[in-house]
Amino acid sequence: MKPAVEIYDTTLRDGSQGEGINFSALDKLRIAERLDTFGVHYIEGGWPGSNPKDMEFFKQAAKRKWKRARIAAFSMTRRKAMAVEHDDLMRQILEAETPVVTIVGKTWMLHVTEVLRAKPDENLAMIGDTVRYLKDHGKTLIYDAEHAFDGFKDDPDYALATWQAAEKAGADCVVLCDTNGGCLPSEIARIVAVAKGKLNARIGIHTHNDCGLGVANGIAAIEAGATHIQGTINGYGERTGNCSLTSVIPIVDFKMGLTGVPKKSLPKLKELSEFVDEIANVRHDPRQPWVGETAFAHKGGMHVHAIDRVSRSYEHIDPTAVGNHRRVLVSDMSGRTNILMKATELGFKLEPDAPETRAITAEVKRKESLGFEYEAAEGSLALLIQKSLAHRELPFTVDGYHVSIRSHGGSSICEATVKVRVGDRTAHTVAEGDGPVNALDGALRAALSGFFPALKNVQLTDYKVRILDGVAGTAAKTRVLITSTDGRRDWGTVGVSENIITASLQALVDSIEFVLMKK
């Protein structure tokens, strides 16, 4: 089925222009293969000739068979006062051997006269010559009208003339670009509607997120008649980024009822988002719409009570439709329903009106008032619930510990000693580490591994510290959140104390107790 909206991904070019984003040629190929499997229609690989990585990408891409996507190479119109067939830009883009070519040209008279230093008619000729030349070489031609909206607002007749020059020369799609990211959705819709009425070619939209309206402007363009939208996975891009396809793709399908990517791909959207973040070595944004960890997280007691009865009362879509999941958070804002739902998620069964449920809810609120936080410490929460229900003794006791830092050869060496008791047996171990917490973690696990072999696979993967009452200076209360893993699952635990080492030990002990509880 021909899509109602073509999805054009430019993560590999526009996305790589974002601060901190740097893809190797192999990275680009891996992302392109995943995008192809997911079902986007176009993948823009880069600008041939701009750097060796892009040329290597196109060389390798030409050897592959692509399932759904068509690979596009990006360049600009021929240079001023140069015949198109003599311009190295044209040679380089043809050498990329892509079925699709995207050419950017000037719309805004400001750019024509002040940047290009060209005459208006000369710019029109540059557009027409370039499009015609590449069409004569059998390419599908997408024309990106740079600064389309700024240009139209300054001089509508000339802006329209540039778009018509591209269409007349054979452009398959004329893409209007909000290059500065400064337009409002109402402006986008009005100007796209004008273009739709004046052009026969397919109309596309390319937006930036400088006003936080990248996605809103893209959707406004589609509503006004655009049938091709460009963007990047996770909204990577220059300055504050480009239109985020991880929002556009589900909006097109679920909210607009239009065909975009294959429906069977939509439950893999979160997985795609995280994959691209991983390749880019970027921490996944938990607050991203649709695919972020908090996109379907509920904290307020009234909200949680409502979704327990009717999920759509506080969820605009089933989270699993985009590969996400519902999360119920527990905090001092929690009601009893939060505790019930979270307990179920953690494997416990509580009765709504049972004394234990009321006691657990009260204990959570009390501990949170002391500085504990259970949103990211589900391991500690599970222990709190289990101890309230089972009243069991701890599997081990820390009888004592000591942490020291000494200088040796110009560097610092951290050493921790831990004494633990399991039943009537004890173990006393020492370990060095990169820091006091790392040393304490090593000593504690070494002391307990002889009693509990499963702990040999446990590792600390993240460690965060927050000062809770900064006005107290160095005597301030400290909250430590740690994340641990056994290679199969991750869990978080929390500790709070005026002493950062004591807080760290609390979190480490909870982490180990959580493993033993699961075993």
pLDDT value at residue 351: 77
pLDDT value at residue 309: 53
The b-or-e profile of 401-428 (16+ CB within 10 A means b, else e) is: bebeeeeeeeeeebbbbbbbbbeeeebe
Residue 470 has pLDDT above 60, yes or no: no
Full residue range of the structural domain in which residue 421 is found: 397-518
Q: In sequence order, what are the residues at sequence separation of 6 or more whose Cβ sits closer than 8 angstroms to the Cβ of residue 112? A: 106, 118, 119, 120, 123
176 in the same domain as 100: yes
Nearest in space to 221 (alpha carbons), one of 232, 233, 229, 210 = 229
In a domain, 276, yes or no: no
pLDDT value at residue 258: 95
The single-letter code of the amino acid at 261 is: V
Q: Lowest-pLDDT range, 10-24, 333-347, 380-394, 458-472? A: 333-347
Domain boundary among 261, 288, 315: 261
Selected residue with higher pLDDT from 476 and 44: 44
pLDDT tens per residue, range 296-321? 776 655 555 555 555 566 678 888 89
Quick check: 96 and 48 in contact, CB under 8 A? yes
Domain boundary among 209, 242, 261: 261
* φ, ψ of residue 107 in degrees (nearest 5): -110, -40
213 in the same domain as 361: no
Residues 19-42 have a mean pLDDT of 94
pLDDT category at 465 given cuts 50, 70, 90 is: confident
223 in the same domain as 144: yes
* φ, ψ of residue 360 in degrees (nearest 5): -65, -45
Nearest in space to 40 (alpha carbons), one of 272, 270, 237 = 272
Residue 507 to residue 503: CA distance in whole angstroms = 6
In a domain, 206, yes or no: yes
477 in the same domain as 337: no
The pTM assigned to this predicted structure is 0.73
53 in the same domain as 201: yes
Q: In sequence order, what are the residues at sequence separation of 6 or more whose Cβ sits closer than 8 angstroms to the Cβ of residue 93? A: 48, 49, 73, 75, 101, 134
Q: Give the mean pLDDT of the chain.
A: 88
pLDDT tens per residue, range 114-166? 988 999 999 999 999 999 999 999 999 999 999 999 999 999 999 999 999 99
Q: Lowest-pLDDT range, 185-189, 286-290, 370-374, 499-503? A: 370-374
pLDDT value at residue 3: 76
| CATH number, domain with residue 499 | 3.30.160.270
pLDDT category at 343 given cuts 50, 70, 90 is: confident
pLDDT tens per residue, range 84-125? 999 999 999 999 999 999 999 999 999 899 988 999 999 999
159 in the same domain as 127: yes
Alpha helix positions (H), 243-323: 245-250, 269-280, 301-309
Residues 254-270 have a mean pLDDT of 95
451 in the same domain as 335: no
Domain count, the chain: 3
Residue 488 has pLDDT above 90, yes or no: no
Residue 474 has pLDDT above 60, yes or no: no
Q: Lowest-pLDDT range, 174-183, 269-278, 356-365, 493-502? A: 356-365
In a domain, 167, yes or no: yes
Residues 155-178 have a mean pLDDT of 98
pLDDT value at residue 490: 86
402 in the same domain as 383: no
Strand, helix or coil for residue 124: helix
Q: In sequence order, what are the residues at sequence separation of 6 or more whose Cβ sits closer than 8 angstroms to the Cβ of residue 453? A: none
Domain boundary among 338, 362, 389: 389
Residue 496 to residue 507: CA distance in whole angstroms = 8
Residue 174 to residue 161: CA distance in whole angstroms = 12
